[in-house]
Chains A and B, each alone.
Chain A
Amino acid sequence: MVPDVAAKPEDFSDQDWDEIQARYKNLLRVYGSRLSPSEKQHLLHVLITNQYMLKSIRSFVVQNGDASAITLRLVT
């Protein structure tokens, strides 16, 4: 699905690349009609950048018992 505007970076796993393809496919499904070919290519690069950051943050493992991300503030 990902056009030949970008090759899979060497340090990406197949799973990383599949994830990018899925995001790209969904993005085109929703917004494809608004985008020029160069914008589509640009977006692919953005998705690759984002995946690098996600890979890095996911390597920092959190366990079930670690702190929640959500704090409910009671209204009294």
Chain B
Amino acid sequence: MLTPDTFFKSIRFLGEAIRERRLSSVELTEGFLERGRTIGARLNAFATLTPELALQQARRADAEIKAGHYRGTLHGVPYAVKDLVAVKGYPTTWGAVPYAHQSFDFNATIIERLNEAGAVLLGKAAMIELAGGLGYSSGHASLSGPAQNPWNPECWTCGSSSGSGAIVSAGLAPWALGSDTRGSILCPSSWCGVSGLRPSFGRVSRYGSMAIAYSMDKLGPMARTADDCALVLNVIAGHDPLDHDSISDTAQQFSYQQTEPAANDRLRIGRLTNVYAKTDPEIDKAIDVACRVFEQAGATVETCEFPDGPFEEAAELTILMEAASAFEHLIRSGKCKELTDPLGRINGYASEQFSVADYLHVQRVRPMLQQLADKVFDRYSVVISPAQPTTAQLLSAKDSEDWTSGDFHLDRRAPDGVSSLCGLPAISIPCGFSNKQLPYGMQIMGRALNDATVLKVARLYQAHTDWHLQHPDL
């Protein structure tokens, strides 16, 4: 018998209940699908529901488990996938009008891996058009309408994995796949109060998913707990020869066991103090409280500063320049004018004006910035900071683009930009609430390929706090 709380349980809880046949995958899937049709529609959370496929996969899972063929923790557990990942025979719209009727006749590698694990696909999560690849100025920039934040429907979820954030936060699926080129998993995880992991670059195959910036795109899980993120990563990580940037089998592999906190870990945590020009003071207080939690759990915590460098500029320029190539057809054909966002309609024209020398300069600076960032981890296992400088913004808010008065500003060491540019693993986990009941997120960032350490620190925090167990009253 499903209770409302069932829909906010972790993958681990649901997976064990299904394995022990205390819960049927079909019953659970039907329950989530019904929430998708009702609550999901209200929040603009899904681009497409896939009920026939979901129920077919759920029936198969129940039958296999009954027959003693158990595939693992994701077996029979429902999920959603951002609508930029190809699922054979279903629309894959990239959240954008020009691709509203697009579908592919193959599955992305990540879908194949989840199929092999026996996972149950509920549907495609709504997203910002082209995942913001040609720019956007508000949460309205989506084929399926603005995703509403389950904690306050007047607020946005953040993007570009906007639907994935809403889905997990609202209990419409235990987890959802997001993508992150520059913060598109971390920001919605922070604003929606869920745990979202952006793995190391190359850790998860992107074959069959839309490209924005080839040297920065990553896929990763958004879930209720860091442990759930680790369980999913354990299934989706691994070399794929079909992805040019997939890390090789000889590189440091991800191991779920290494995410388990242990008494003798000797974790040294750096608390970054210089990454934003301005933050909501309450978020900083929440991070300070988190530092005490870590200390009480046996970790060493020190304040530290991130080295200066044009991290954010390099990230933004790389995306603009590579997106001009990724969406060349859309720009040259003029079909970019069909996009919803006024910036998205024209930004590609400006990005085409960058020179080859500009691109090469940015890419030659980039390894120097990677070295700067990497040195931080000679001293610290991970560094932590607010994931975002504010809580969720109103949907009516728009980015300012008028810098002609000379007051241009970027947070050049913004932690989601740094980790995106350098391909570092990072997670955002809930760490408190504002007085308006909007979630705060804490980013935990680690050295390249040390996804397990990032997850271990997040799991340690969640073992001593319950922010991740809070959910909106829907």
- Nearest to A49 among chain B residues (CB) is B403
Q: Evaluate contact between B368 and A50: CB separation under 8 angstroms.
A: no
- Nearest to A52 among chain B residues (CB) is B408
Q: Evaluate contact between A31 and B349: CB separation under 8 angstroms.
A: yes
**Cβ-neighbour of B346 out of A6, A10, A43, A50 (below 8 A):** A43
**Cβ-neighbour of A35 out of B135, B244, B346, B408 (below 8 A):** B346
**Cβ-neighbour of A57 out of B135, B362, B401 (below 8 A):** B362
Q: Evaluate contact between B405 and A46: CB separation under 8 angstroms.
A: no
Min C-beta distance of A69 to chain B, whole Å? 3
Chain B residues near A57: list those with CB within 8 A. Answer: 310, 313-314, 317, 361-362, 365
Min C-beta distance of B137 to chain A, whole Å? 10
Q: Evaluate contact between B337 and A34: CB separation under 8 angstroms.
A: yes
**Complex-state Cα separation, A46 to B327, whole angstroms:** 18
**Complex-state Cα separation, A23 to B314, whole angstroms:** 20
**Complex-state Cα separation, A74 to B402, whole angstroms:** 45
CB-CB contacts below 8 Å: A12-70 with B: 23, 26-27, 30-31, 34-35, 39, 42-43, 45-50, 52-54, 56-60, 62, 66-70
Min C-beta distance of B138 to chain A, whole Å? 14
**Complex-state Cα separation, A39 to B343, whole angstroms:** 9
Given contacts A42-B343, A58-B361, A69-B363, contact A26 B353 (CB under 8 A): yes
Chain A residues near B244: list those with CB within 8 A. Answer: 73
Q: Evaluate contact between B353 and A47: CB separation under 8 angstroms.
A: yes
**Cβ-neighbour of B350 out of A10, A46, A66, A70 (below 8 A):** A46
Q: Evaluate contact between B410 and A53: CB separation under 8 angstroms.
A: yes
Min C-beta distance of B322 to chain A, whole Å? 12
Given contacts A23-B353, A42-B343, contact A9 B406 (CB under 8 A): yes
Q: Evaluate contact between B350 and A67: CB separation under 8 angstroms.
A: no
Chain B residues near A62: list those with CB within 8 A. Answer: 361, 364-365, 368
**Complex-state Cα separation, A52 to B310, whole angstroms:** 11
**Complex-state Cα separation, A53 to B316, whole angstroms:** 8
Given contacts A45-B403, A56-B310, A60-B310, contact A50 B354 (CB under 8 A): yes
Interface Cβ pair total, 8 Å cutoff = 102
Interface of A is mostly: helix
**Cβ-neighbour of A27 out of B345, B353, B364, B402 (below 8 A):** B353
The listed residue with most A CB atoms (<10 A of its CB), out of B317, B349, B362, B410, is B349
The listed residue with most A CB atoms (<10 A of its CB), out of B317, B353, B358, B364, is B353
**Complex-state Cα separation, A46 to B365, whole angstroms:** 23
Chain B residues near A73: list those with CB within 8 A. Answer: 244
Given contacts A53-B410, A57-B365, contact A42 B342 (CB under 8 A): yes
- Mark interface residues in B349-372 (1 if CB within 8 Å of A CB, else 0): 111111000111111111110000
CB-CB contacts below 8 Å: B392-429 with A: 401-406, 408, 410, 412
Besides A69-B363, A69-B364, 11 new A-B residue pairs in contact (Cβ under 8 A), listed by A number? A27-B349, A30-B349, A30-B352, A42-B401, A48-B408, A52-B410, A60-B310, A68-B364, A69-B360, A70-B360, A73-B244
28 sampled A-B residue pairs with Cβ under 8 A: A6-B404, A9-B403, A27-B350, A39-B342, A42-B342, A42-B343, A43-B349, A43-B350, A45-B402, A46-B346, A46-B401, A49-B403, A49-B408, A50-B350, A53-B310, A54-B313, A54-B358, A56-B313, A56-B410, A57-B310, A57-B317, A57-B362, A57-B365, A58-B361, A60-B365, A62-B361, A69-B360, A69-B366
